[in-house]
Amino acid sequence: MAEPGTAFRPETGRLELLLTLGALAAFGSLSIAMYLPGLPAMAQEFHGSTTGVQDTVAAFSLGLCAGQLIYGPVSDRWGRRAPLLFGIALYLVATLACIVASNLSTLVAFRFVQGLGGCAGVVISRAIVRDRFTPQESAGVYSTLMLILGVAPILSPLAGGWIIAGFGWRAVFWVLLAFGVVLGVVVWLRLRESSSAESRRRARSEHPFRSYLAILGDRQVAAFVACGGFGAAGTFIYMTMSAHLLIDGYGVPTTAFGWLYGAGSLAVLIGSQVNRVLLNRFSSHRLLVWSTRLNLAACLLMLATVSRWPALIPAFLIPLCLAFSMNGLSSPNAAAEAMGAAGWRAGAVAAVMGFAQFGMGALLATIAVRVLDGTAFEIAAMLCVTSACAVGCLLFAGKSRALA
């Protein structure tokens, strides 16, 4: 394993590395959360339905999901840097196309391509963490990255609401374009290769399909991946349906939407930082087990409170924040447990985990917007299902071991 921090030039430190990795990992959440307040305006401009504009969220998520299965093994075989730069370039081209889109179908198509580009940052940032840190250290590093990831969903809907109110929804994509350009320059000038020549040689000796079979054939790793996937699925369901619920259902103004949406993101942020402290006393596996159970308890509480007080926002939002705070603990620990067994297949394991998270999230969110009315009760019920499935996955998992 390479020395921590050597992904950057010697004169820079760990902080710069973590900030860059956090920004790369934030491609997904930033590209979704910032333009959520503009969904109603989008529907009005394109004369589309609520379901139609929500497809732009699902399309991006599907692209973010599918591309990871490509970038993961490619980065194992040929290094982290080149695929990362290619993904950022693809993201920039697709973002420009979204800016000039003249109809909803075109926007949906290029949101998918945008996701294909942005997913390079999501999957490769995880692999770089595995390249540089031990499994126990990785859980703390992932918690630190979640601090950055937590800030993005808090601030981006707020900023998005004001940008949309002043300049229209297309202005959000100009901001995303600028973000991608800056990050691309940083990666080009500052980020060095983190994978070793030996690991790349071993990866090239094995077909990617065999790598995925080896990963999914390990019961513990598969269980940790599925647990992380179900945890993320609940978040995606809320992200996709939040604008309809809060703005149309509860009557929240567009400019205030970000404050309420950001409360859930703040809860995730707090949970992830509590996790950093708890890792000094408990193993990542133990924290994962207890956080998933408490997440389920919070979701059941939410189901009860919205049944009793369906018109009150706090009846939905307070239990939601409790559940999301537990996601802040479970997500980095699930990633650490799965990636701890990765070995030289770090990119492939990161790809499978990302595919599970974004794929399950996009699939369940797409189903939800088509079969549900988007009420607080229905969202709470869906979150109960996903959290129960996460708990069930851990019943089949023991202590993880390294893949052969």
Helix ranges (DSSP H) in 79-207: 81-99, 104-132, 135-167, 170-190, 197-204
pLDDT at residue 4 is higher than 50: no
pLDDT at residue 378 is higher than 50: yes
**pLDDT (tens digit, 9 = 90+) per residue, 54-64?**
888 888 988 88
Domain boundaries, the chain: 14-205, 207-403
Q: Which residue has the higher pLDDT, 138 or 169?
A: 169
In whole angstroms, give the CA distance from residue 64 to residue 68: 7
What token pair was written down for 397?
């998992």
- Burial letters 72-91, b for 16+ CB under 10 A, else e: bbbbbbbbbbebbeebbebb
CATH number of 207-403: 1.20.1250.20
Rounded to the nearest integer, the mean pLDDT of the chain is 83
Q: Are 236 and 368 in contact (CB under 8 A)?
A: no
Q: How far is CA 16 from CA 21, 131, 347, in A?
A: 9, 16, 22
Identical fold, 14-205 and 207-403: yes
Q: Are 340 and 135 in contact (CB under 8 A)?
A: yes
Q: How far is CA 309 from CA 119, 198, 317, 376, in A?
A: 39, 59, 12, 10
Q: Which residue has the higher pLDDT, 274 or 65?
A: 274
Q: Which of 126, 390, 345 is nearest to 216 (CA)?
A: 345
Q: How far is CA 312 from CA 102, 264, 317, 323, in A?
A: 38, 16, 9, 18
Q: Which option is the CATH number for 14-205: 1.20.1250.20, 1.10.10.10, 1.10.1840.10, 2.40.50.840? A: 1.20.1250.20
**pLDDT (tens digit, 9 = 90+) per residue, 170-221?**
999 999 999 999 999 999 988 888 777 777 777 676 666 777 777 777 788 8
